[in-house]
Chain A
Amino acid sequence: MIIDFFARALIAGVGVALVAGPAGCFIVWRRMAYFGDAMAHSALLGIALGILLGVDPALGVLGVAAAVALILSGLGANRSLTSDTLLGILSHSALSMGLIALSLMRGARPDLLAYLFGDLLAVGFGDIYWILAGGGMAFVLLLVLWRPLLALSVHEELALAEGINAGAVRAGFMLLIAVLIAAAMKITGALLITALLLIPAAAARRFAHSPESMAVIAACFGVLAVCGGLFGSLQFDTPSGPSIVFAAMLLFLFSLVAGLRDARGKRV
């Protein structure tokens, strides 16, 4: 029984990590870590809305994350408002509103910890199809967006001058992140989704010589982190989200040590 649940969580987690690694590279290159956090924190509000409206919570997450992305990009157009402060306000407000909405629910109150930090037992059969469909959609979106988004990330003005439609590409990328957040929600929890985007990509940097190789390595590291984290979670009965992030952190430390050895090798 528990093995069934575990296999489901593993399949879903690997599916999400395969897309989250490459998508996370863009989060790193475009310095959008805080942006990702703001979107991920809004996921809790999405869950509350989904339950209230009687639809699948994942749909609620997708809707709210997409709305937050729209608000953020709209505010970003106003130069005087682009700042860490503004993202921080939005991020924490969304998280707090989600927590309030969930705590006000009468009757079968959802398990808050599971939503915040992930619960591998929470991945049901329905979820797995949903997560794989979402992951597949995110993967297709990533393939379509890759070239124009990379050009935009290298030099926005140059990409514009060469005919890239920045508005459409950026909107597509936000939709991609929203889908990923909805898919990863059950496994890592709202608070830790950004880690699955950031850490494998950051760990991949030292081993990569091209954007494409960094994306592939980040996907591999993401899969390793999910597998390691979920086995640890099963073994030690720890929450799945933090266990995955811990495994990712170990991979990142490994990349740091490998980088240090490289640097020393070059100097000698």
Chain B
Amino acid sequence: MTQAAPLISAHGLELSLGGRPVLTHVDLAIQPGEIITLIGPNGAGKSSLIRVLMGLVRPDRGEIRRRPHLRIGYMPQKFFIDPALPLRVTRLMTLTAKAGRAEIEGALGETGVAHLADAQVQSLSGGELQRVLLARALLLHPDLLVLDEPAQGVDFGGQAQLYRLIGDIRARRGCGVLLVSHDLHLVMAATDRVLCLNRHLCCAGPPEMVAKDPEFIRLFGEDAAGAFAPYAHGAHGHDHAHTLSGEVAPATDPAHDH
């Protein structure tokens, strides 16, 4: 395995769904051990982009290179199990992976939910389910974790903890992480690089730089950009709430369409 080779690289991705352009001219590369956050308003093509990167959707144009034998651990955005399907956490973990009890409990322990091994999946809270799904992705020994809105349905304090946990996992396992999010402030603290997507890549770079980018401010508003100040100076892993709503400003500037 070469050290310098990116886990995934993509050039000139184009995708239309139902006649509407979803991705135009997207280039990106994910390096080993790096945490990248994909950020953008609703409908910006974030989920489509990760589906294309994982090979679930074929782009209309463009090229994707995955490192040979790349193992991806995926955590989907929406997860609902029909109440008619009885399923314990251990069985959910081994739907496609083959793993023994000790291995399963190890992965669950890493995300802090080892006590839930025998719980029925339908009885889990939002935060518990996200941690179980994260443990499930870890069980595949991934080189790259792809996490689509991992903090969904998790309360605020829990979100901060979850992002800290993702940072810990990266430090321990050295895997790359591709996060999708639209809650800005928490993610920014735990990420190496931010890609701001609105069908095309508006801007990319370290969080402090992206926050100052006029394109980013146009998409997300001054409030969001201003909210980075404490993170730029502050220590990691604080858990105080900001006044910032985290909501996305409407992108209505017609002059910007290209």
Within the complex, what minimum Cβ distance (angstroms) separates B80 from chain A?
A: 8
- Per-position binary interface string of chain A over residues 24-43, scored 1 when its CB falls under 8 Å from any chain B CB and 0 otherwise: 00001101000000000000
- Range class of the B interface residue count: 20 to 34
B91 in contact with A210 (CB, 8 Å): yes
Interface string of B213-255 (1 = CB under 8 A from A): 0000000000000000000000000000000000000000000
B220 CB, nearest partner CB in chain A, Å: 27
Contacts of B97 in A (CB 8 A): 162
CA of A214 to CA of B87, assembled, Å: 10
Q: Is the CB of A29 within 8 A of B140?
A: no
Residues of chain A lying within 8 A (CB to CB) of residue B169 = none
Does residue B81 face the partner (Cβ distance < 8 Å to A)? yes
The interface residues of chain A lying within 8 Å CB-to-CB of B88 are 209-210
* B96-A205 in contact (CB<8A): no
Interchain residue pairs with CB less than 8 A apart (8) = A28-B84, A157-B51, A157-B56, A161-B76, A162-B95, A210-B88, A210-B91, A211-B86
**Which of B79, B86, B87 has the most CB atoms of chain A within a 10 A radius of its CB?**
B86
A residues 208-223 in Cβ contact with B at 8 Å: 208-211, 213-214
**A163 contacts B by Cβ under 8 Å:** yes
Contact of A209 among B76, B96, B120, B146 (CB under 8 A): B120
Does chain A have a CB within 8 A of B44? no
Residues of chain B in range 136-167 having any CB-CB distance to chain A below 8 Å = 140, 146
| A162:B74 contact, CB within 8 angstroms | yes
Task: Tell me if B113 is interfacial: C-beta within 8 Å of chain A.
Answer: no
User: Would B76 and A155 count as touching, CB distance under 8 A?
Assistant: yes
Q: Mark A131-163, 1 if CB is under 8 A from B, else 0.
A: 000000000000000011011011101111111
Assess whether B257 is interfacial by the CB under 8 Å rule: no
Contact B85 A151 (CB under 8 A): no
CB nearest neighbor in B for A79: B18
Chain B residues engaging chain A, CB cutoff 8 angstroms: 51, 54, 56, 72, 74, 76, 79, 81-82, 84-88, 91-92, 95-97, 120, 140, 146
Q: Is the CB of A202 within 8 A of B79?
A: no
Task: Assess the B84–A163 pair: CB atoms within 8 A.
Answer: no
Q: How far is the CA of A211 from the CA of B87 in the complex (A)?
A: 6
A180 CA to B220 CA, complexed, in Å: 56
Instruction: Name 17 extra pairs, CB < 8 A, besides A163-B96, A209-B120.
Output: A28-B84, A29-B84, A31-B82, A148-B96, A151-B95, A154-B85, A155-B81, A158-B79, A158-B95, A161-B76, A162-B97, A205-B84, A210-B87, A210-B91, A211-B85, A211-B86, A211-B87
Query: In this assembly, does A256 line the interface, its C-beta being within 8 Å of a C-beta of chain B?
Result: no
Give the CA-CA distance A213 to B85 in the complex, in Å.
Answer: 11
Q: In the complex, what residue of chain A is closest to B77 when comparing beta carbons?
A: A157
Closest Cβ–Cβ distance, residue A165 to chain B (whole Å): 12
Distance of A153 Cα from B96 Cα, bound (Å): 12
In the complex, residue of chain B having the shortest beta-carbon distance to the beta carbon of A161: B74
Which of A157, A163, A208, A214: most chain B CB closer than 10 A? A157
> Given A150-B95, A151-B96, A154-B92, do A161 and B85 touch, yes or no (CB 8 Å)?
no
Chain A residues within an 8 Å CB radius of B81: 154-155
CB <8 Å contact, B87 and A205: no
| Cα distance, A159 to B95, chains bound together (Å) | 8
A27 to chain B, nearest CB (A): 10
